[in-house]
């Protein structure tokens, strides 16, 4: 299992809508997350900085393949098309990233 975290900004005027849609995530999107070997997926909001922090545990053996499988899913693409305009990617993110990856520096069970 690998713990993973990512960060992205959110447009202040879209926070209420983001919360509303995430209170009722489409079942097909949730199923694809699980099918992609992701467990314990959580998104946190930090205001007033308007940052989203996502955390999950990856239980697969090939993250790149599972991420591509998720990205190829039509229903997930629809979900992202709704939510991407709400987000404000960090200028410091790596080339090819939407959400900026975060390095794990500490963990305690």
pLDDT-derived band at 75 (thresholds 50, 70, 90) equals very high
97-106 in b/e form (b: 16+ CB < 10 A) is: eebbeeeeee
Residue-level pLDDT at 6: 98
Residue-level pLDDT at 57: 98
The overall average pLDDT reported for the chain is 97
The model's pTM is 0.92
| Residue 107 included in any domain | no
Q: Tally the domains of the chain.
A: 1
pLDDT-derived band at 7 (thresholds 50, 70, 90) equals very high
| Residue 109 included in any domain | no
| Residue 108 included in any domain | no
- CA dist 87 and 104 (Å) reads 23
Strand ranges for 59-99 from DSSP E:
87-88
Question: What is residue 63's three-state secondary structure?
Answer: helix
- CA dist 10 and 78 (Å) reads 18
Residue-level pLDDT at 81: 98
| Residue 89 included in any domain | yes
Mean pLDDT of 30-42: 98
DSSP conformational letter for 94: P
pLDDT-derived band at 10 (thresholds 50, 70, 90) equals very high
Which domain CATH number covers 86?
3.30.70.100
Domain extent, residue 48, equals 2-102
């Amino acid at each position: 299992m690998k713990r993973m975290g990512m960060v992205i900004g959110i447009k202040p005027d879209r926070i209420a809508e983001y919360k509303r849609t995430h209170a009722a995530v489409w079942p097909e999107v949730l199923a694809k997350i699980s099918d992609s070997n992701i467990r314990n997926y959580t998104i946190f909001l930090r205001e007033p900085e308007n940052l989203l922090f996502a955390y999950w545990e990856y239980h697969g053996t090939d993250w790149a393949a599972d991420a591509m499988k998720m990205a190829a899913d039509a229903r997930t693409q629809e979900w992202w098309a709704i939510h991407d305009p709400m987000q404000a990617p960090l200028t410091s993110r790596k080339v090819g990233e939407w959400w900026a990856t975060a390095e794990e520096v500490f963990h305690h069970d």
